[in-house]
Amino acid sequence: MTRKARILAGGFATAALCFGTAGTGVRAQGANPTMDSIKSQYASVKGYLAKTVAKVPEDVLAFKPTPEVRSFGQILAHIADSQFGMCGTAAGEKKPSDFEKTATTKAALTKAIADSTAYCDSVIAGMDDKKGAEVTKFFFGPTTRAMVLSFNVSHDFEHYGNLVTYMRLKGIVPPSSEQ
What ranges do the domains of the chain cover? 3-177
Cα–Cα distance between 10 and 12 in angstroms, integer? 5
What share of the chain has pLDDT > 90, as a percent? 80
- Residue 176 is given by DSSP the state G
Cα–Cα distance between 83 and 67 in angstroms, integer? 25
Cα–Cα distance between 87 and 81 in angstroms, integer? 10
Please say whether the structural domain 3-177 has been given the CATH code 1.20.120.450.
yes
pLDDT-based confidence at residue 24 (cuts at 50, 70, 90) = very low
pTM over 0.85: no
Cα–Cα distance between 53 and 88 in angstroms, integer? 23
Strands (E), the chain: 135-136, 143-144
pLDDT, residue 4, reads 45
